[in-house]
Structure 1
Amino acid sequence: MSISLDVLTYGEAMALFVADETGPLESVEHFTRRIAGADLNVAIGLSRLGFGVGYLSRVGADAFGRYVLATLASEGIDASHVSVDPRYPTGFQMKGKQTDGRDPAVEYFRKGSAASHLSLDDFDAAYVGAARHLHLTGVAPAISATSRELAFRLAESMREQGKTISFDPNLRPTLWPSRETMAATLNALAALSDWVLPGLGEGVALTGYDTPEDIARFYLDQGSRGVIVKLGAQGAYFRTADESGYVAAQPVGNVVDTVGAGDGFAVGVVSALLEGRDWLTAVTRGNRIGALAIQVIGDSEGLPTRAELERIETSAASV
């Protein structure tokens, strides 16, 4: 059966347990189950906006794995290339609750997970060829050497076909053998990508430069077509060969959960660019969806549907 996809992404989907009360994780008695994974958050967000999205991964033959598959189905994401691996478990994580806007504590339980055994065996040329865009994060390449090989094979295949690639570094330093290896690997992936979306701190760690302008120039010199540096409450800076500028953040009255803001930003940018919108519009939408993501508990619960986004954008245009 043939399939046509707007976007393909890959990585590790995990069960997520969010604390219902504040305090150290070891003191929390009640949690709410959600789902997590940087690449999965982007897949969910783009699917809600009406894009055809495929997700490539592995899960265990366990309750968490069945939960991931059920979530993918409910979100309308193609999971035909999410394999169930009976040898290894599905990873999960625990996340604390904050009420003051600070980043919550997060602990991962993913060592030896099914997804960490992703490899070139999971590469399907026909499936990859069915997509017009690939979204990568720096998380999946960090979970194992074999997953890292898969990331480069996916990127190289899309590049050979003249299709677009977006890349969000999503640094996880503890998963890498060294910061030097992390920087070299992720910068090599960025060099294969059209749109690069680092946060300011990520850009400093990966390039050694400390200004948005210099970080953007570094990746443009490597061959990227456009770079957007996320600046948190200060918005974002974008630069292409022809234009550059700062875009103010969307005001947020009550920050509930900061995790997932960058993934929401990626949803906004990628969706707009795939629609053929200009860079200013794309960054503005990225800021807007990133702001929505941090106003609710959970990594993807704040990501809007197409109808919700259209209402928000129409309202903003009339002001």
Structure 2
Amino acid sequence: MRPSAVQLDVATYGESLALLVADQVGAFEDVEKYTRRLAGAETNVAIGLARLGLKVGWLSRVGDDSFGRFICKRVAQEGVDVSRVVTDAQYRTAIQLKARAVDGADPAIEYYRKGSAASHLSPADFDPDYFGAARHLHATGIAPALSASTMALAHHALDFMRARGKSISFDPNLRPMLWPSQQVMAQQLNALAAKADWVLPGLSEGKILTGYTEPADIAAFYLDRGVSLVVVKLGEQGAYYRSAQGEGVVPGVPVRQVVDTVGAGDGFAVGLISGLLEGLPIEQAVRRGNRIGAFAIQVVGDMEGLPTRSELEAASRAD
């Protein structure tokens, strides 16, 4: 039997991958040694929120293999509840390769995820008592891209939480290689975004999804569809936010050296979501998002740089 539902601040769902990061610069075929880590936008956010003291739960499927056991163990060690992660005896855990980044550039990535255990997630895996016990749902555009059943799960989860008055954040996290076309990607993800309260596209993502080039127009596109807050991430320039209460630009946080850009957007989501759930004004929550995004890009790994509450407070006091 499953454990009874626990009270959660945030629930999320999606695929986590075993991440193999190159230990040296060069093409994958020339690299001899890799370090095993963890990848997955939803688990990055879940771990970041847990490090700040929030109670977080994660739904997924992993293979009955060493990588699946590694993922569950690693996520649980971070304080995230994994009681709704299903071990799938038929399908394997996904794997990702990441090259060593140079001079702050985005690293090359290769995925081995087609037909993975998580791609077989479906509404049947959704536990209404578990999700109903959460204050907030965080969703991304990655999970629904994996298969028809994960798309059905995405709509089911957002509809369920919306009907119960829970807040919902949606980060598009575009992965064009998972979609049949850019047009289909935009249509499907915009339909999901319209069911959320807070939508968090990067500027380039917003251009693709809406056809607009200015942050204000991208935000208006989603506000016109019922979203209450849109935050457009602007990279080192910070972030633009807009809601019915107002708009503004919050400058980025300078860093000494960009080591690994992967996970910056997830770090931003951690800051924004935690801030808003704690009742911070929008501008302050966006500022926290910028700060945690800056933490994330200064170390190797997708989530290793995400701060604890004490580290975040120390950095804020240093301003």
Q: TM-score range with shorter-chain normalisation?
A: over 0.9
Counterpart pick for 2:107 among 90, 101, 104 = 104
Residue in structure 1 matched with residue 9 of structure 2 by the alignment: 6
Query: What CA deviation, in whole Å up to 9, does each residue of 1:257-303 have, x standing for no partner?
Result: 00000000000100100000011101111110001100000000000
1:277 is matched with 280
1:310 and 2:308 matched: no
Does residue 1:242 correspond to 2:240, yes or no? no
Q: CA offset at residue 123 of structure 1?
A: 1.1
Q: So what's the TM-score if we normalise by structure 2?
A: 0.98
Number of the residue aligned with 1:54: 57
Looking at structure 2, the residues matched to 124 and 99 of structure 1 have their Cα atoms a distance apart, in angstroms, of 43
Structure 2 Cα separation of the partners of residues 40 and 76 of structure 1: 11
Q: Which residue matches 1:194?
A: 197
Structure 1 match to 2:23:
20
Name the aligned partner's letter for residue 127 of structure 1.
Answer: Y
Q: CA deviation at 1:315?
A: 2.1
Partner of 1:84: 87
- Give the distance between the partners of 2:269 and 2:203, measured in 1 at CA: 15
Structure 1 residues 41-64: Cα deviation after superposition (integer angstroms, max 9, x where no partner): 000000100000000000000000
User: 1:8 corresponds to which letter in structure 2?
Assistant: A
Distance 1:265 1:8 in 2: 17
1:256 paired residue number: 259
Once the two structures are TM-superposed, the CA of residue 181 in structure 1 deviates from its matched residue by 1.3
Q: Which residue of 2 aligns with 1:67?
A: 70
**Alignment-derived partner of residue 143 in structure 1:** 146
Structure 2 gaps of 5+ residues are: none
**Do the aligned partners of residues 2 and 147 (structure 1) sit closer, same or farther apart at CA in structure 2, a change above 3 Å counting?**
closer
Q: What is the distance in 2 between the residues matched to 1:194 and 1:65?
A: 32
The equivalences for 1:160-171 within 5 A come to: 160-171=163-174
> In the alignment, which residue of structure 2 is the partner of 1:134?
137
1:222 alignment partner, SS class: coil
The AA in structure 1 aligned to 2:209 is L
What is the CA–CA distance in structure 2 between the aligned matches of 1:90 and 1:98, rounded to whole Å? 25
* Cα-to-partner distance string for 1:108-133 (whole Å, 9 max, x where unaligned): 00011000000111011111101110
Superposition deviation, residue 99 in structure 1: 2.4
Is 2:56 aligned against 1:36? no
Letter of the structure 2 residue corresponding to residue 284 of structure 1: R
| Residue of structure 1 in register with 2:123 after alignment | 120
Give the match for residue 157 of structure 2.
154
Q: Which amino acid aligns with 1:46?
A: L
C-alpha separation in 2, matches of 1:161 and 1:314? 38
Who is 2:220 aligned against? Answer: 217
RMSD of aligned alpha carbons: 0.7
Matched, 1:182 2:185: yes
CA distance in 2, matches of 1:138, 1:47: 22
Summarize deviations over 1:145-191 as a string: whole Å, max 9, x none: 10010011000000000010000000001101111111111101110
Tell me the distance in 1 between the aligned counterparts of 2:155 and 2:177. 21
Structure 1: which amino acid aligns with 2:215? P
Q: Does 1:289 align with 2:292?
A: yes
User: For 1:202-254, what per-residue CA distance to the aligned partner results, in whole angstroms no more than 9, with x for missing partners?
Assistant: 00000000100000011111111100000111111000011101111100111
1:208 maps to 2:211: yes
By how many angstroms is 1:2 displaced? 3.7
Q: What TM-score results when the alignment is normalised by the length of structure 1?
A: 0.98
